[in-house]
Amino acid sequence: MKKILVPTDLSKISLKALDVAADLARHNGAEIILLQVKVFPSASLGTYYSMGVAVPFDTAWKEVLQEAEQQLQQVIDQPKYEGIKIKGVVEESVENIETTLLKHKADLIVMGSTGATGIKEVFGGSHSEAVVRHAHCPVLVIKGDIENYTIRRVLVATDLGNTDFMKKALKWLNLTDIQYHFVYIDTAMKQVNYVELKAEMKTIAHQLKLKDYHFEIWNATSVEEGILDSAHEIEADLILMYTHGRTGLAHWLKGSIAEDVVNHSDIPVMTVI
């Protein structure tokens, strides 16, 4: 992992995403691109003119962009980011924010979201949902009021039909002392052989070289409900799941499940394509 993209609107949750990205960058020797997108025309212009400053429109917009660059640099210059390569980038766009940020060729996107209720201007559920759906790299969505975030317990939602995403995620996280809890959601939509599933999981764990792991078959009325309930049951710090864009998760993890989990979870979610 060489490049981590962190979109920001300088809100508390987006800056918390930067803190998490910084921790991952330290472990992986990665560079962080801290990106702020100013969609033209921006609400910032209205604020600017409300101050009674009589300047040409182009001049006002240029100063809005310069101010954004200065704000990013103030964030980057904080002592807690010392030793981490962080590049502040301000882009102007006439498109939506997620389209602009997805043009960057990142190995990982780390972004903040308050979920379906949204956050000022940028980081509502609809934006994180769109990024998860269209990104060609893993997306880590930071949720809730997190202080001193540390990943210790990871819930891995799996249908046991795709192990490649697990290998990628474990490699990219590159963190020590993690407890992996694998969960298969049984919605009673098809006949499930518990003995065979546990044997399959044992084989997968061997392939992943996992010596200490937990596996549970969770009964629920929906996949989303099962993932969220099991994550709370184990007090997970992160939900890890596979997504394949618009086509959803293989077999039972289909449609908008990944997006729904991202929107409704109060626990950080990492999706891997």
Q: What is the pLDDT of residues 217-229, one digit of tens each?
A: 999 999 999 999 9
Asked if CATH classification 3.40.50.620 holds for the domain at 3-142, the reply, yes or no, is yes
Distance separating alpha carbons of residues 242 and 250, to the nearest angstrom? 8
pLDDT over 90 at 98, yes or no: no
- C-beta separation of 167 from 208 below 8 A: yes
Distance separating alpha carbons of residues 223 and 176, to the nearest angstrom? 29
Q: Tell me how many degrees the CA angle 259-36-33 measures, rounded to the nearest 5.
A: 85
What is the structure's pLDDT at 99?
79
| Region 59-68 average pLDDT | 84
Q: How much of the chain exceeds pLDDT 90, in percent? A: 40
What is the structure's pLDDT at 117?
45
pLDDT over 80 at 261, yes or no: yes
Q: Tell me how many degrees the CA angle 88-58-47 measures, rounded to the nearest 5.
A: 75
For the domain covering 153-272, report its CATH number. Answer: 3.40.50.620
What is the structure's pLDDT at 7?
93
pLDDT band at 211 (very low <50, low <70, confident <90, very high): confident
- Is 6 strand, coil or helix? strand
- The residues of the chain that CATH labels 3.40.50.620 are 3-142, 153-272
The structure's pTM equals 0.83
What is the structure's pLDDT at 122?
42
Q: Tell me: the pLDDT tens digits for 216-260?
A: 999 999 999 999 999 999 999 999 988 765 444 443 444 468 888
pLDDT over 50 at 25, yes or no: yes
pLDDT over 50 at 30, yes or no: yes
- Is 1 strand, coil or helix? coil
- C-beta separation of 91 from 38 below 8 A: yes
Question: Which distant-in-sequence residues (6+ apart) come within 8 Å of 93 by Cβ?
Answer: 37, 38, 39, 40, 99, 100
